[in-house]
């Protein structure tokens, strides 16, 4: 698979385009606009861009006030900073009144690399999912990240968009099919279903190819929307393939795997394996080395699927 842009870059470019379409869109950043790529919006619409400084709680508070006044604010910072530092403000000033604030967490997961655990957002999806009224989206590549921005712009209400630092393989050529709450079936299969989001989608596709050479037919679902979850696609996959592997660049507890497991338990219980970060923080290192060390590769997905089919 060829390498494309990072999802943070795709987000930043799409946000600037959104600014052209909607004059009510305003953007607030916590002094990392060159990293979150909100700099694209800032250069084109300086009068609608607010660099609040390293003060995530203030960023969210200001955004909620703007939303209550009729503006359509997008807030961006590193995933760990915006979700952890400003959680109380997100809870009381955005989720509780269900205001139309879009929150973007960049540099998510351990693939941020050398910056280390203090800046790795590994619990952000769990935190976002527990906020009532929030929609939570984790796109797989640049095309789906772009579509996610426009889909969330059409959606009225609070949302969290997770994007990453490294360039990622191209999953979707051209325009990505994207509907909030609707998974994309990227590959059909009969023996096991691999459900993934973010950069683990390309790993899931590679794993499916490797499994095919072993005589195992794997279905691949891009579950880009963690909340609301596509329960219909999950139930159908559970009935038809009878086994599941969930892969995500997030802590095992509270993320996509937890949501899928709950859905399966309620609808059609089947054996599941989870490829995710265990109960630990990662260390500093290259993205490739970290993903390999902490078990977030195509080979780890293959191993998990083989353990299920072997049963």
Cβ contact 245:305 at 8 Å: yes
Query: Can you tell me the mean pLDDT for 190-216?
Result: 98
Of 102, 134, 169, the last residue of a domain is 169
Pair (18, 138) in one structural domain: yes
Pair (46, 149) in one structural domain: yes
Q: Mind listing the pLDDT tens digit for each residue in 250-276?
A: 999 999 999 999 999 999 999 999 999
Classify residue 238: in a domain, yes or no: yes
Q: Mind listing the pLDDT tens digit for each residue in 14-25?
A: 999 999 999 999
- DSSP class of 97: T
The percentage of the chain sitting over the pLDDT mark of 90, rounded to a whole number, equals: 97
Mean pLDDT of the chain: 97
Instruction: Go through 273-285 and write b for each residue having 16 or more CB atoms within 10 A of its CB, e for each that does not.
Output: bbbbbeeeebebb
Classify residue 175: in a domain, yes or no: no
Of 120, 138, 169, the last residue of a domain is 169
Pair (160, 13) in one structural domain: yes
Query: Can you tell me the mean pLDDT for 160-166?
Result: 97
Classify residue 178: in a domain, yes or no: no
Give the pLDDT band of residue 311 (cuts 50, 70, 90). Answer: low
Classify residue 14: in a domain, yes or no: yes
Pair (233, 151) in one structural domain: no
**Domain ranges, residue 292:** 184-309
Domain with 9 in it: what CATH number?
3.40.50.970
Q: Which residues form the catalytic set?
A: 56
Pair (165, 200) in one structural domain: no
pLDDT of 176 reads: 86
Pair (155, 75) in one structural domain: yes
Which element (helix H / strand E) includes 136? strand 135-137
The percentage of the chain sitting over the pLDDT mark of 70, rounded to a whole number, equals: 100
Pair (196, 145) in one structural domain: no
Classify residue 176: in a domain, yes or no: no
Q: How many domains does the chain have?
A: 2
Query: Can you tell me the mean pLDDT for 263-291?
Result: 96
Q: Mind listing the pLDDT tens digit for each residue in 26-78?
A: 999 999 999 999 999 999 999 999 999 999 999 999 999 999 999 999 999 99
Give the pLDDT band of residue 175 (cuts 50, 70, 90). Answer: confident
Cβ partners under 8 Å of residue 223, min gap 6: 183, 195, 196, 197, 229, 230, 233, 256, 260
Pair (141, 213) in one structural domain: no
pLDDT exceeds 80 at position 2: yes
Give the pLDDT band of residue 202 (cuts 50, 70, 90). Answer: very high
Classify residue 174: in a domain, yes or no: no
- DSSP class of 2: -
Classify residue 44: in a domain, yes or no: yes
Pair (192, 217) in one structural domain: yes
pLDDT exceeds 90 at position 237: yes
Classify residue 237: in a domain, yes or no: yes
Domain with 243 in it: what CATH number?
3.40.50.920
Pair (151, 190) in one structural domain: no
Pair (34, 95) in one structural domain: yes
Pair (123, 195) in one structural domain: no
pTM, whole model, 2 decimals?
0.96
- Cα–Cα distance, 146 to 35 (Å, whole number): 17
pLDDT of 1 reads: 81
């Amino acid at each position: 698979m060829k390498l494309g842009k990072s999802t943070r870059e795709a987000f930043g470019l799409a946000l600037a385009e959104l600014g052209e379409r909607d004059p009510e869109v305003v953007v607030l950043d916590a002094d990392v606009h060159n990293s979150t790529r909100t700099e694209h919006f800032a250069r084109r619409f300086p009068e609608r861009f607010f660099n609040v400084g390293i003060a995530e709680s203030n960023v969210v508070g200001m955004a909620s006030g703007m939303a209550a006044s009729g503006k359509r604010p997008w807030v961006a910072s590193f995933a760990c900073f915006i979700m952890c530092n400003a959680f109380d403000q997100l809870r009381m000033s955005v989720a509780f009144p269900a205001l139309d604030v879009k929150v973007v967490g960049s540099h998510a997961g351990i693939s941020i690399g050398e910056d280390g655990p203090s800046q790795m957002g590994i619990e952000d999806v769990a935190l976002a999912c527990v906020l009532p009224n929030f929609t939570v989206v984790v796109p797989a590549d640049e095309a789906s990240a772009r579509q996610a921005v426009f889909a969330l712009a059409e959606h009225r209400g609070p949302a969290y968009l997770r994007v990453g630092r490294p360039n990622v393989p191209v999953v979707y050529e051209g325009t990505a099919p994207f509907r909030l709450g609707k998974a994309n079936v990227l590959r059909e299969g009969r023996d096991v279903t691999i459900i993934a989001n973010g950069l683990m989608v390309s790993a899931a596709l590679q794993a499916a190819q490797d499994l095919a050479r072993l005589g195992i037919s794997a279905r691949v679902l891009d579950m880009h929307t963690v909340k609301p979850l596509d329960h219909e696609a999950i139930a159908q996959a559970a009935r038809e393939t009878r086994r599941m592997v969930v892969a995500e660049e997030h802590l095992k507890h509270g993320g996509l795997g937890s949501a899928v497991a709950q859905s399966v338990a309620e609808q059609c219980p089947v054996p599941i394996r989870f490829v995710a970060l265990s109960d630990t923080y990662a260390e500093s290192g290259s993205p490739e080395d970290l993903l390999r060390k902490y078990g977030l590769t195509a080979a780890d997905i293959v191993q998990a699927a083989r353990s299920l089919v072997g049963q």
